[in-house]
Chain A
Amino acid sequence: MGLKRVSVVGVLSLLLIWLSAAGSGWAEARNQTFPSFGSGAVEVRLYTDYFCPPCRGMEPGAVQILKDLLKKNAIRLILVDVPLNRLTPLFSRNFLYALRKNNGAEHALLVRSILMEASTNKEIATQELIEALFKGKGIAFAVWDPKFAFDRYNKLLQEDKINATPTCVIIKNGQKKTFIGVDNIINALKVLQ
C-alpha cells in the first residue's frame, strides 16, 4: 500500500515537473521576438540576404508594396534572413536586437534597409561597428539570445527548401507558391495588392 502511494506521488510529481517545464517553454516562446507582421489571410515569407546584390536591388520596390499590403492587412509577412554570407548571422542578430526594442513592421523594414546598405561597406564587420551604426542612425537595440529566432529561420529555410535569394513564398488558400528572383517576386506581390 505504502509503495503504491509512493509510486502515485512520484508519477504525479514527475508530471508536475514536466508540465511546469513545458509551461515555461511556452512562456519563453511567447516572449521571443520574431520578424512576423500583420494578420492577413495570405502568408508572405520573404527570404533575403543582406549581402546579396539582387536582394538589395529589390528592397526599395518591395518595401513599398509590402507596406501597402500590411496597411490593408492583406498579408502576414515573415522576413527570413538567409545566411549565404559569413557575416549574415552577425547582421541578422543585430536586426533581431533592434526588433527587441521596436517590433513594428515599418521599423523592421527601416532597420533592414539600413543593414542592407551597411553590407556594402566591407569595413562594417564587427558587433561594435554595427552598434555604432545603429547609434548613429538613432536605432535602439537590446542584446538578447536570438537562438529561438534562428531556429525558426532554419525550420522555414528547410521547409521551403531555400537555395537562392531573393525568394518569396506565398501561401494563399492553403496553396504554396514559390517565386525566385527580383522581377518574379515584385510581380507576385503586385498581384496581391
Chain B
Amino acid sequence: MTRYRVLKIINVLFPVIGIGLMVFYDVCETTCSSLQGTFMGLDLKIIGILFMAGLLALAIPLASRWTGFVQCLRMMILSGALGGETILVRFQVVNDTYCPFCLAFGSCILILFIANFTKANRYPALGAFLVGIAAFAIFFEGSVAPLFR
C-alpha cells in the first residue's frame, strides 16, 4: 500500500471517528458532565462535528482535483484546530477535570496533523496554529465546577 493511499484512508477514517465520538458523547453518555465549553456561544460538540465534517468533505474524490490547494487548506485547518486543542487541554489540566471524549477527539486531530504534515506547509501551519490558540483564548468559554449563585 502506498503512502498516499494510507494518507487517504487516515483522512477519511479519523474524521469519521471524530464525528462518532462527538455524537456518542452527546447522545449515549451515562452521566452529565459539568465540563462544558462553547466557542463564540456555540457548543463545542457541534463545532467538533462540523469541523470533522469539513475535513471529511476535503477527503472526497471531487476535492482531490485541487490536490495542492486542498492539502494546504487541510493542513491549515488542522493546525488551527491543534492550536484550539492546546487551549482546551490546558483548561482541563488547570481545572484538574478531564473529559475522555474530548481527549480522544484531540488525539484524532493530532494524528491527522502528523499524518498530513509536510515541510512545505510549515509556515502557513505555524500561522494557523497561532491563530487557533488566539481564537480559543478569546472566544472559548468553559465551565467546570457548577455552583449556585
Contact = CB atoms under 8 A, between A and B. Distances in A.
Interface of A: 49, 51-55, 82-84, 89, 92, 150-151, 153-154, 157-158, 161-167, 180-183
Contacts of B144: 163
Interface in B19-73: 29-36
Interface in B103-149: 144-149
Contact of B146 (A55, A162, A180, A183): A162
B33 A154 contact: no
Nearest to A147: B148
B91 to A, nearest CB: 13
B37 to A, nearest CB: 13
B32 A165 contact: yes
22 contacts: A51-B32, A53-B32, A54-B29, A54-B31, A82-B146, A83-B146, A84-B32, A84-B146, A89-B148, A150-B148, A151-B148, A153-B148, A154-B148, A157-B145, A157-B146, A157-B147, A162-B145, A162-B146, A163-B35, A164-B34, A166-B31, A167-B31
Contacts of B36: 84
Contacts of B97: 163
B149 to A, nearest CB: 8
A175 B31 CA distance: 24
Nearest to A149: B148
Contacts, number: 58
A165 B147 contact: no
Contact of B145 (A52, A54, A151, A158): A158
Contact of B34 (A53, A54, A162): A162
Nearest to B96: A161
Q: Is the interface of B mostly helix, strand, loop or mixed?
A: loop
Interface string B91-102: 000000100000
Contacts of B35: 163-164
B30 to A, nearest CB: 5
Contacts of A158: 145, 147
A154 B147 contact: yes
A52 B148 contact: no
A98 B81 CA distance: 48
B145 A55 contact: no
B30 A83 contact: no
B143 to A, nearest CB: 9
A83 B148 contact: yes
B130 to A, nearest CB: 31
A22 to B, nearest CB: 25
A99 to B, nearest CB: 16
A182 B148 CA distance: 24
A82 B30 CA distance: 16
Contacts of B29: 54
Nearest to B36: A84
